[in-house]
Structure 1
Amino acid sequence: MNYLCNGIDLAEGTSRGFEVNGVQLLVVRRAGQVHAYRNRCPHRGIPLEWQPDRFLDASASLIECATHGALFLIESGECIAGPCEGKYLSVIECGENAQGIWIRL
């Protein structure tokens, strides 16, 4: 497992981008759970954010691709609207303990 950050560094309803071993990823905390995905839109294979750490839509309830507006469920990474509807973001296994947030690449 690779250490990502301290748990308090990812507040409820927020997202952050990271690069670990050359892999770009995004992490979101929703309803107390941490979800991690490759930062790569399944439509064009490009990063999702338009500014650092800006992966969520205006309501902070969906992950949004800044290029084409595709919307993804935070809990599963499924695209529910946009040009890649029905496809999924690549899940990164993650967990959290007293030391922080961890991922497995």
Structure 2
Amino acid sequence: MDTFSPVQLPDRQALCRLDEIPDGGATAVDARLPDGEGSLILLRQGTQVRGYLNVCPHAGRRLDYAPGKFLLKNDTLTCAVHGATFSQGDGLCIGGPCRGEHLRAVALSVEAGEVRLLQDKA
């Protein structure tokens, strides 16, 4: 599977309000995914939100050090378990045990102050 392809999602489910994510920060939310419930990382910059599955490609563990709490610095996200460092912009691992791999992106929209998963285009 192409690591740049967004995860296919079933509907436009609401995840949270934009103002629940600190500007320049991140949070984790649970969502209905094609293979069951899963955790997503939501990263906010102003009115823009990027989303990734909350799963490190190195060992399949969550990236947060406590529920919804992430290690963020200089536009990077660091896995709390093994220290893999990812670019917030594209999810590319730029340091650590899975260098060159990507976090799995999810497509999002911000509509009327609410963060939603984009509808499956398939």
TM surpasses 0.5: yes
Q: Could you tell me which runs of 5 or more consecutive residues in structure 1 were left unpaired when the two chains were aligned.
A: none
Alignment size in residue pairs: 104
Could you tell me whether the CA contact under 8 Å between 1:15 and 1:56 is conserved in 2?
no
Residue aligning to 1:48 = 63
Residue aligning to 1:97 = 111
Compute the RMSD of aligned alpha carbons.
Answer: 1.5
Residue aligning to 2:14 = 3
Q: CA deviation at 1:99?
A: 4.2
Bigger-Rg structure (1/2): 2
* 1:25 aligns to 2:40 (yes or no): yes
Residue aligning to 2:101 = 87
Return the alpha-carbon distance in structure 2 between the equivalents of residues 47 and 99 of structure 1: 27
Q: In percent, how many aligned pairs have the same letter?
A: 31
* 1:74 aligns to 2:74 (yes or no): no
Could you tell me whether the CA contact under 8 Å between 1:62 and 1:71 is conserved in 2?
yes
SS of aligned partner of 1:17:
strand
Cα deviations by residue, 1:7-60 (Å, 9 ceiling, x for unpaired): 111121111111112111110112542010000000001111111222233x36
Return the alpha-carbon distance in structure 2 between the equivalents of residues 77 and 25 of structure 1: 13
Structure 1 runs of 4+ with >3 Å offset: none
Q: CA deviation at 1:61?
A: 2.4
Could you tell me whether the CA contact under 8 Å between 1:14 and 1:60 is conserved in 2?
no
Q: Could you tell me which runs of 5 or more consecutive residues in structure 2 were left unpaired when the two chains were aligned.
A: 1-11
What TM-score results when the alignment is normalised by the length of structure 1?
0.90
Residue type of the partner of 1:100?
A: E
SS of aligned partner of 1:8:
helix
What TM-score results when the alignment is normalised by the length of structure 2?
0.78
